[in-house]
Amino acid sequence: MATKTAIIGVSMDLGAGRRGVDMGPSAIRCAGLTNELQQLGLEVRDLGDIRAHIPEILEPGNPKLKYLEPIQETVTEAAKKISEVDKEYIMVALGGDHSISLGSVAASAKKYGPLSVLWVDAHGDFNTNESSPSGNIHGMVLAALAGIGAPQLTDIGGFSPKVSADKIVILGARSLDSEEKKLLRSHQVRVYTMHDIDRRGLVSVAQEALEYLLRDGNSLHVSFDIDSVDPSEAPGVGTPVPGGLTYRDAHLTMEMIAETQKMCSLDMVEVNPILDTANKTGQLAVGLIASVFGKRIY
Report the side by side order of strands in the sheet with 4-11.
43-51, 4-11, 90-95, 263-269, 219-225, 115-120, 168-173, 190-193
Q: Are 225 and 138 in contact (CB under 8 A)?
A: no
How far is Cα of residue 68 from the mean position of the Cα atoms in its chain?
Answer: 19
Q: Which of 109, 91, 101 is nearest to 21 (CA)?
A: 101
The DSSP code for 139 is G
> Beta strands of 1-129 (E only): which ranges?
4-11, 43-51, 90-95, 115-120
What lies within 8 Å, CB to CB, of 97 at 6+ separation is 12, 13, 14, 15, 16, 21, 22, 138, 238, 269, 270
Residues designated catalytic: 98, 121, 123, 125, 138, 225, 227, 270
